[in-house]
Amino acid sequence: MSQTALVLLDVQLNLFTPEATVYASERVLAAIERLINAARANHAAIVYVQHNGGPDDPDAPGSPGWQLHEVCTLQAGDLVLQKETPNAFLHTDLAEMLRQREIKHLVLAGFQTELCIDTTCRAAWSRGFRVSLAADAHSTFDGEALKAAQIIAHHNSVLRNFARVYSSPNIKF
């Protein structure tokens, strides 16, 4: 078993509705699928992290929007984790689950760039994990001050202080 895990954050249907779809969704989903296939080919663990929103949120547990996107093809041995904050480590068993499997390196991808990707990347680094961020496998929505592409580019630059940032074809498991 590899000492690397692919951690997919919030790849949930509520981010792909006709009313509100994340920036470059098809390209990002293709990159995520490429990462899943590479992780499987190299016997790396895959962790699917789902955000549990509040009762009126589009990602409320059990709601259609809370479900994982079809690109997330669960297989035996895959891990699924629920979280309620942008930090996938906070109030979860993620660190313990990874350490039990002797995981030392995390590859991060998913949504949203400035929230869960940023926070989980920094949290992983602060817990001693080596982190790789898949530069083309995370996204967000346009913000008030910046467009989604600007937010992504900014975070790919800033998070280099906590992770190695690669395009998905260059990620090694």
What number of other Cβ atoms are within 10 A of residue 132's Cβ?
21
- Which of 98-129 are b and which e, b meaning 16 or more Cβ less than 10 Å from the residue's Cβ? beebebebbbbbbbbbbbbbbbbbbbbbeeeb
Given 116, 134, 137, 165, the catalytic residue: 116
Query: Cα separation of 137 and 27, whole Å?
Result: 8
Q: How many residues does the chain have?
A: 173
Q: Is 121 a catalytic residue?
A: no
Task: Establish whether the linkage from the previous residue to 3 is cis, with ω within 30° of 0.
Answer: no
Enzyme catalytic residues: 116
